[in-house]
Amino acid sequence: MTALLYAAGVVLVALGIGLSIALHEIGHLVPAKAFGVRVTQYMVGFGPTLYSRRRGETEYGIKAVPLGGYIRMIGMYPPRAADPPGTIREDSTGLFQQMADDAKEWEAAQYDPSEAHRTFAALPVRRKLVVMLGGPAMNLLISAVLLAVLACGIGLPAPSTTIESVSECVVPADAPVGTSCEGRPEAPALAAGIRPGDELVSIDGTPIAQWSDVTTAVRGAGGRSVEVVVRRDGAETTLHATPIVDARPVIGPDGAAVTQADGTFATDQVGFLGIAPGQELRRASPLAVPQMVWQTFTGTAHVVIGLPVRLVEVAQAAFGSGERDPNGPIGVVGVSRLAGEIASADQPGFDLTAKIATLLSMLASLNMALFVFNLIPLMPLDGGHVAGALLEGARRMIARLRGRPDPGPVDMSRLLPLTNVVAIGFLVMTVLLLYADIVKPVTLFP
């Protein structure tokens, strides 16, 4: 059964990634066709074609390597300008110029000159932007929808009023995990008879509706005996506990511990009981979704901006004795392994609903990563074409202001050498992550 669940998790996430890629390309396809551009291919994947079918002027298909997709539009580069009459052209104009000329000649050979008005290069700047931003925008939309389903339909993890665990002793707030209880005082909650599984009803006369009520009541009761009413086995039981005054992390308005400039927790002398909450899924308001999308975007952008450094860390972990950063980049194999772990997990409290929520969160994060990554202003990414269109618009605006002739579209074929370097870099990154995911995988349950 575990193996079947593991396989089911891998298949479900693979289908989710494939659908995300397919919808990304539809985000390019629909506006391109709406603007009259002739699209010759719509493909999900790379490499040999597994299946294809032609509808009208477009071939739709699936390829063998599921690491992306593409649509092929005619005339991605502007045609080479004709030489003036009587001009004798040199056979060679340099390696880079020859590369650009060859690319433009190949592009021009794919369509009849009568279709020049249907090329991508012939589109106005604003339409080029719509076509190239359509793919990333689709991934952003998918991520937002999945986050909305997660937050408003399933619910987000939140501390419950049911006690998950009771500390055996009092240890400093900054003590490492696994610190021994030898020679340390017994935790007040354990001494009072509070048990894991107890549901808190009230503390010191304060009704408990959420975990923040527990924090407020306990921190204000340091050094004196208070009544703690719990619901145990369906009946209410009154216990008496004396929270000790101890240095505990300061809790900010967002419910998280406040961190100081040096990375340590800010602490305050407050009451300490020694209990930890369980987790429950709590549905959020739709008004909370935009904030979730923004937080996901900023977190993903932070990872992408620091990608070179993070890839060095991945290489050091893969070829050395270090551990992988669980919040660092992972490849397709790593994502598949995590999906299998999630689906087959047999952890207390990690039920089917929690598994579905985790998988949806993973797909939302992946789509946000596709959105952010594709906006990098480098060819062959969508962001490279967007940058070219913006440059074209700026050149034309400046020409109009100066009363000069239209300079025409930007010749992106001149960036082919840089494009090839970037493509090789992406290939190296893919291979590195593939190797690291095999020899030093990121695991959800160590």
Q: Which residues are known catalytic residues?
A: 25
Choose among 143, 138, 133: nearest CA to 383.
Answer: 133
How buried is 427 (Cβ within 10 angstroms: 0-12 exposed, 13-18 middle, 19+ buried)? exposed
Rg of the chain, C-alpha, whole Å: 29
Residues in Cβ contact with 371 at an 8 Å cutoff, skipping those fewer than 6 apart:
136, 137, 139, 140, 143, 297, 300
Phi and psi at 274, nearest 5°, equal 95, 45
Number of residues written out for the chain: 446
Residue 70 identity (one-letter amino acid): Y
Give one DSSP letter per residue of 401-433, joined into a string: HTTPPP--S--GGGGHHHHHHHHHHHHHHHHHH
Beta-ladder partners of 73: 39
C-alpha torsion sign, points 259, 162, 358, 372: negative
Residue appearing with tokens 């107890």: 198
CA distances to 184, 210, 387 from 412, rounded to whole Å, are: 69, 58, 10
Residues 6+ apart with CB under 8 A from 230: 163, 194, 198, 199, 200, 201, 236, 237, 239
- Tell me the C-alpha distance between 340 and 444, whole Å: 10
Helix/strand/coil for 200 = strand
What does each C-alpha distance from 403 to 390, 398, 406 come to in angstroms? 20, 9, 9
Per DSSP, the residues of 285-350 read -GGGHHHHHHHHHHHHHHHHHTHHHHHHHHHHHHHSSPPPPTTS---HHHHHHHHHHHHH---TT-
Rounded to the nearest angstrom, the gap between the alpha carbon of residue 340 and the centroid of all alpha carbons in its chain is: 18
62 and 43 Cβ atoms separated by less than 8 Å: yes
186: buried, middle or exposed (CB in 10 Å: 19+, 13-18, 0-12)? middle
